[in-house]
Amino acid sequence: MTEHDYRKIFPRMPGKVMIGDITIRDGFQHEEKFISTAAKIFYGEEIIMAGCKEIEATNLGNPRTTPQFRDADEVLAHFRGERFKKRCAQRNINYDELVFSAVTIRESAVDRAIELKKRGIGPDRVLMMVSTDPEHHFANSGTTLSQYWREAERCIRKCRDVGIRMCGVVSTIWGSPISGATRLDDAVEFTKRWFSIGAHDIEHADHDGSASAAEVYRYFSMVMDAMPNPEAHLCHLHETKRVASASVLAALHAGISRFEGTLGGLGGQPANFLDDCPVRGTGEYYYRDHRYVGLITLEDLLVMIDELGIEHGYDVDRVLWLGNKMEKTIGRRLRSEAIYNGRTAKDGNPQFLRPGLKKLIEKEGEKPGQSVPPEWPAAAVLPEKWGPDSWR
């Protein structure tokens, strides 16, 4: 007989997950208009009030390349300020449990993070990124892989000295938008390399929606076999074909318990246009239509996780409220279905009742809850031939 207990089929599947929010960094980096500092602070604060404990706050790279984050210092300073700490205390949020991250692709950005840390407004965690495709890596960082590994090793030592955690990102795991197919074994090896030089945790990234559920399960099973610590691994998936929810489920089956997403599914490649001016970004967009790409939609992800019965720590309704607000901020329909269709109504929708059923049951002399004619057997009995065979 088939095993019907889902948890027995996938014993690694977690009962609790940590879901980080990266809206105000990865989400906003793809927008071609400047998102105000006030809006970044508002959404950062509100997602924390809704239950987020890990938030990507900004990018500390060169503002000439990514001018969306020219206000990085101001945003970080706000989240280190007494006003915000007081608000956390009022909401019974333990400020010391919050983790603020910043992207620092190159050493100069890491040095900037360290200086900010010394000023008391720096991030708790920074990210550097390698791609298993050398061409994609060069497009992002301008270095060879060997050059970058040496740089990352130096940066990890610097970060340790001041108490900043380093997250090593592995990209193009399931394919590269430049070179095409890649090898999962290479990504597992790169993960080991990150840990060998002192990384705190690893973000495993599908940066262009290449991943399929089967390959996500295969890869994360390989990772968890080789390095079986769920806290050490973070799943970062982009959504370009409306199949990422299947990949989330596959990652859960493999034992992954850390994910991240953005409100409305915002995000993607750094914008190469801002307001009325072309900017460098990372060059031409990889996508056929840059309007229909982004990350996993945080709203839909939370509804899915919640309805799987997995603990997540969020006020889901508050997140759906935020998703509605985000559409006004961005000025277009975003990609969350949950903000329109809501959560599954477990108590039903009495307003849709058609009157008259109770009277009809009484008229027919049926018992409440009766579902088949009383002369039928209590349980169905399959005939010798049934279904298509009985019609042949």
Instruction: Indicate which CATH number applies to the domain containing 323.
Output: 3.20.20.70
Q: Is residue 225 part of a domain?
A: yes
pLDDT band at 283 (very low <50, low <70, confident <90, very high): confident
**pLDDT greater at residue 347 or residue 33:** 33
User: How far, in Å, CA of 68 to CA of 282, rounded?
Assistant: 13
pLDDT at 269: 87
> For residue range 104-115, what is the model confidence (pLDDT) as tens digits?
999 999 999 999
What SS3 state is found at 45? helix
User: How far, in Å, CA of 77 to CA of 82, rounded?
Assistant: 10
pLDDT at 207: 82
Q: How many domains does the chain have?
A: 1
Distances (CA, A) of 240 to 43, 130, 237, 265, 300: 24, 22, 10, 10, 15
Is a pLDDT exceeding 90 seen at residue 285? Answer: no
Is a pLDDT exceeding 80 seen at residue 348? Answer: yes
Burial track 133-154 (b if 16+ CB lie within 10 A, e otherwise): bbebbbbbbebebeebbebbbe
pLDDT at 323: 98
pLDDT band at 209 (very low <50, low <70, confident <90, very high): confident
pLDDT band at 18 (very low <50, low <70, confident <90, very high): very high
Q: Is residue 352 part of a domain?
A: no
Q: Is residue 366 part of a domain?
A: no
CB-based contact 47:333 (threshold 8 Å):
no
- In this structure, what token pair is assigned to residue 34? 């400047």
- DSSP run (H or E) holding 125: strand 125-131
Residue 18 phi/psi, 5° resolution?
A: -115, 120
- Mean pLDDT, range 18-24, rounded to an integer: 98
Least confident of 96-105, 289-298, 310-319: 289-298
Q: Is residue 4 part of a domain?
A: no
Q: Is residue 381 part of a domain?
A: no
pLDDT band at 359 (very low <50, low <70, confident <90, very high): very high
By CB neighbour count within 10 A (0-12 exposed, 13-18 middle, 19+ buried), where does 6 fall? Answer: exposed
- Mean pLDDT, range 118-125, rounded to an integer: 98
- In this structure, what token pair is assigned to residue 370? 């009766």
User: How far, in Å, CA of 340 to CA of 324, rounded?
Assistant: 8
- DSSP run (H or E) holding 208: none
Q: Is residue 137 part of a domain?
A: yes
pLDDT at 140: 87
Least confident of 30-44, 144-158, 374-388: 374-388
Residue 380 — left, alpha, or beta (φ > 0 → left; ψ -120 to 50 → alpha)?
beta
> For residue range 156-189, what is the model confidence (pLDDT) as tens digits?
999 999 999 999 999 999 999 899 999 999 999 9
CB-based contact 199:167 (threshold 8 Å):
yes
Where does 165-311 show beta strands of DSSP type E? 165-171, 201-206, 233-237, 258-261, 273-274, 277-278
Q: Is residue 369 part of a domain?
A: no
pLDDT at 111: 98
How confident is the prediction for the chain on average, in pLDDT? Answer: 95
Domain residues for the domain of 253 are 11-341
Q: Is residue 85 part of a domain?
A: yes
> For residue range 5-16, what is the model confidence (pLDDT) as tens digits?
988 999 999 999
Q: Which of 194, 187, 198 is nearest to 220 (CA)?
A: 187
